Amino acid sequence: MSKNSKLLTGPINLNNPITVQVLGICSALAVTVKLEPAIVMSISVIAVLALANVIISLLRNTIPSRIRIIVQLVVIAALVILVDQILKAYSPDVSKQLSVFVGLIITNCILMGRLEAFALGNKPWESFLDGIGNGSGYAIILIIVATVRELLGSGTLTLPAVGEIKVIPESFYQFGYENNGLMILPPMALIVVGIIIWVQRSKTRELIEEN
């Protein structure tokens, strides 16, 4: 049991896919301008990662090792297309907001990373937990980065089903406060992720290397 719960909680802090393994940075950069796409993207990644992990884990003894990467890619791509089609049919609004990002899940290195490193050698249930855990670790960082960027860059927070909330009051702007346009540009995503890594490392003893 404790081993299983470690599968869930490990990736959130000690083994976080973004800040520790430094995987999946590409989408952390692309979808974090606003909070809403970041949240929907997180949910989609968790779903696709958990399902792909289970499928690969079920097939793990039959997959020819020479084409295993191709098999993994086909499974991921098929799942992503399914998610995209279902969103288009049942939730066109969300699908429109995510637009190209759903397709970008295919290129998310966390997926290939987990399939190759975990699902190929573990049972389905453990792989499912590992998928949920890693997806959540990814989601947390994405949501923190998106909150910082949207708050400082646009002065708002956008939540699914609620819409845009103005957080910085109008009076601030009258006193000369200005949104930081730099926050909207891609480099700031990397800098924010860098700051998160820095804070996490200095707070967590286990992550500090000896030399």
Partner 1 sequence: MKLDTNGNLYTFIYAAVMVIIVAAVLAFTAIKLQPKQENNLKVEKMQNILQSVGIQSKVENAENLYKKYITKQIIVNTKGDELEGDAFAINLPAEAKAEVNSRKLPIFFAKLDDGTEKAVIPLTGKGLWGPIWGYLALESDFNTIYGVVFDHKGETPGLGAEINKDPFELPFKGKTLFEGNKFVSITLYKGGKGASAAAGDTNHGCDAISGGTITSKGLERMMKEEWLNNYEAYLAKNKK
- The reply to whether 155 sits near partner 1 by the rule CB under 8 A is no
**Using CA atoms, how far apart are residues 209 and 12, in angstroms rounded to an integer?**
19
**Using CA atoms, how far apart are residues 106 and 101, in angstroms rounded to an integer?**
9
- The reply to whether 47 sits near partner 1 by the rule CB under 8 A is no
Of the candidates 37, 79, 40, which has an alpha carbon nearest to the alpha carbon of residue 56?
79
Q: Which is nearer to partner 1, 58 or 67 (CB)?
A: 67
22, 26, 58, 67: which one contacts partner 1 (CB under 8 A)? 67
Stretch that binds partner 1, among 2-10, 117-125, 136-144, 181-189 (CB under 8 A): 181-189
Question: What residue type is assigned to position 36 of the chain?
Answer: E
**Using CA atoms, how far apart are residues 145 and 196, in angstroms rounded to an integer?**
9
**Using CA atoms, how far apart are residues 61 and 41, in angstroms rounded to an integer?**
31
- The reply to whether 88 sits near partner 1 by the rule CB under 8 A is yes
Stretch that binds partner 1, among 31-39, 111-119, 120-128, 195-203 (CB under 8 A): 31-39
- The reply to whether 137 sits near partner 1 by the rule CB under 8 A is no
CB proximity list for 120: less than 8 A, separation 6 or greater: 56, 57, 60, 63, 68
Least distance in angstroms from the C-beta of 147 to partner 1: 14
SS3 call for 45:
helix
- The reply to whether 78 sits near partner 1 by the rule CB under 8 A is yes
- The reply to whether 63 sits near partner 1 by the rule CB under 8 A is yes
7, 25, 31, 46: which one contacts partner 1 (CB under 8 A)? 31
Distances (CA, A) of 75 to 38, 102, 201: 23, 15, 35
Q: What is the β-pairing status of strands 156-159 and 163-166?
A: antiparallel
Stretch that binds partner 1, among 58-66, 111-119, 128-136, 137-145 (CB under 8 A): 58-66
Least distance in angstroms from the C-beta of 134 to partner 1: 24
71, 129, 144, 188: which one contacts partner 1 (CB under 8 A)? 71
Which H or E run contains 163?
strand 163-166
**Using CA atoms, how far apart are residues 71 and 55, in angstroms rounded to an integer?**
11
Least distance in angstroms from the C-beta of 16 to partner 1: 24
Positions that interact with partner 1 (CB under 8 A): 31, 33-34, 37, 61-67, 70-71, 74, 78, 81-82, 85-86, 88-90, 92, 99-100, 153-154, 181, 184-185
